[in-house]
Structure 1
């Protein structure tokens, strides 16, 4: 049953939460100002959405515009592509506080529109960026510095199997407990691993101190560098979990335009197979990478979730003025 305007005109967040958000933004800006990282702004509406199979961008229909070849635009799920173009143009270290959008996502940890902090550090690798993320997050939350746990070790420890060496059928069988045999058989290996991450790994992380999960399967990080560790190709990707809540997603960034094109093409084939719109390939991003994207590491951090942890709430509506159903 839908609520009336008289029931939903008020913000879902308290005045104290709104004030704490303002303090958090000041903290973030002071943090980067002290490190000489430049604040930038990039488009929220652009010609390309996310290629990632697991992200559904929000489509916007536009009137034909000079120089804009499509009457279709996309609200950005991340400012990554544009920020990398700035890096290639010589910006140096940059950060951005922006609104981001993902279609169909609403729950106690999700809203289709959300606040995102994203930053890039030329000359950093993933380990150096993890240290900076830890300083920012744990400084704001007054927590101990995070520990590190590899993706592989997390599955061995908390799901009871090796996610790297297990066969596809064995991974699907592990997934059956949560989604049933019929659906598990239709899911890809990575989709099954994502189910197990949500139902087995993340609940275990709730009882641990802040933890960086790192060295993901190469198939789960299309924009990250890869390397070989223990005879297995892994991606230099990390996520920070605090009380089981995923806060950020970071990469030691891929800088090879040819390899990036190959990965975009592969992702679009996966999107087509799943019945999702083909996002095409952002040729401007690839041109920027080809011109010389500097070696760098980058990370996107959810500011709404960071505030949830600060205010000790498990519902994102408590930190949003107007979630989608009140907007």
Structure 2
């Protein structure tokens, strides 16, 4: 029986350590404060695409965080300034080539910049973290609409859902009945199977200005949201926002999420009232991003499965 052994080679674990060291040096040089926030929370994520892991502590139900975002924004509202952290996060139901239920995020927030300036910050951090043996060209930047038009041949902002379904079926992709009438669901599928695999080869690619219906926690500007994702080797690495500071609007989005969860027969999740309280107090103008560290290590060493860059994945934990 050999499943006591790590799945990642020791050399890869050494690369991981060097990349984390480089991240700490980068944030220290850019004067961001390293913070720690709770892994266990009384509230959970409402997003229909994410599933929280439940836990019990001192007889009370808690949730392992899917991201430190809400707690970090509470620190921002309290006046911490630029902040960052490396943390373990947990997402139920996510296991496979690119996913482990427990994984590492690097998340950070910068005051008084928008999502375009934050994209440049992401590029500088990744350049600082990548081994010297990995070189890539200056990043590519495309709007969500441009990327979908280029790689899928449909208009993400204008084409009706029937056109999106027809495009997926023309590529031999089975469209689940549950999303055939869901425009954003079809766009997500188009991004994952027709667009994403073409992005970030030989250079980092940023996709920005997502449809406002996919704003999540980002500011919306008419039909688009001030949100971006970063891709390398066809893999989504990071998700960033020019952060929404409007508490009533954020509450409305959470409530819409809960409606969506009911429609999908997903369990309801408690809204984070402390986070909303921080927004009511006043979130400074800021942008923030979460970077999937394990996936970045995959790109750094040329791994094809996340198990190759984690010492002990879920099956061996």
Normalised by the shorter chain, which TM-score bucket?
Answer: over 0.9
For residues 280-319 of structure 1, the aligned pairs below 5 Å read 280-319=270-309
Higher mean C-alpha displacement, 195-204 vs 38-47: 195-204
Higher mean C-alpha displacement, 295-304 vs 215-224: 215-224
Report if aligned partners of 1:239, 1:246 keep a CA contact under 8 Å in 2: yes
**Paired residue for 2:182?**
188
Q: Secondary structure at the match of 2:239?
A: strand
How far did residue 243 of structure 1 move?
Answer: 1.4
Residue of structure 2 aligned with 1:150, choices 138, 143, 151: 143
Number of residue pairs matched by the alignment: 312
Q: Does 1:100 align with 2:89?
A: yes
How far did residue 203 of structure 1 move?
Answer: 1.9
1:102-134 deviation digits (Å, cap 9, x = unpaired): 101111111000000000011111011111101
Report if aligned partners of 1:178, 1:195 keep a CA contact under 8 Å in 2: no
Distance of aligned partners of 1:88 and 1:185 in 2 relative to their CA distance in 1, 3 Å threshold: closer
Q: Secondary structure at the match of 1:146?
A: strand
Residue of structure 1 aligned with 2:63, choices 57, 74, 89: 74
Instruction: Please report the TM-score for the alignment, with normalisation by the length of structure 1.
Output: 0.92
Report if aligned partners of 1:172, 1:185 keep a CA contact under 8 Å in 2: no
**Paired residue for 2:208?**
214
How far, CA to CA, are the matches of 1:266 and 1:175 in structure 2?
27
* Structure 1 unpaired stretches of 5+: 1-5, 65-70
Report if aligned partners of 1:147, 1:209 keep a CA contact under 8 Å in 2: yes
How far, CA to CA, are the matches of 1:206 and 1:63 in structure 2?
46
How far, CA to CA, are the matches of 1:286 and 1:236 in structure 2?
20
Higher mean C-alpha displacement, 185-194 vs 279-288: 185-194
**Paired residue for 1:134?**
123
How far, CA to CA, are the matches of 2:147 and 2:108 in structure 1?
27
Distance of aligned partners of 1:198 and 1:181 in 2 relative to their CA distance in 1, 3 Å threshold: closer
Distance of aligned partners of 1:40 and 1:273 in 2 relative to their CA distance in 1, 3 Å threshold: same
How far, CA to CA, are the matches of 2:255 and 2:56 in structure 1?
24
Residue of structure 1 aligned with 2:5, choices 4, 10, 18: 10
Residue of structure 2 aligned with 1:38, choices 10, 27, 33: 33
Distance of aligned partners of 1:185 and 1:55 in 2 relative to their CA distance in 1, 3 Å threshold: closer
**Paired residue for 1:277?**
267
Higher mean C-alpha displacement, 215-224 vs 186-195: 186-195
How far, CA to CA, are the matches of 1:83 and 1:184 in structure 2?
34
Instruction: Please report the TM-score for the alignment, with normalisation by the length of structure 2.
Output: 0.95
Q: Secondary structure at the match of 1:55?
A: coil
* Structure 2 unpaired stretches of 5+: none
How far did residue 143 of structure 1 move?
Answer: 2.4
1:236-295 deviation digits (Å, cap 9, x = unpaired): 110111111111000000000011011110011101111111112211111101101100
How far, CA to CA, are the matches of 2:181 and 2:200 in structure 1?
26
How far, CA to CA, are the matches of 1:182 and 1:292 in structure 2?
41
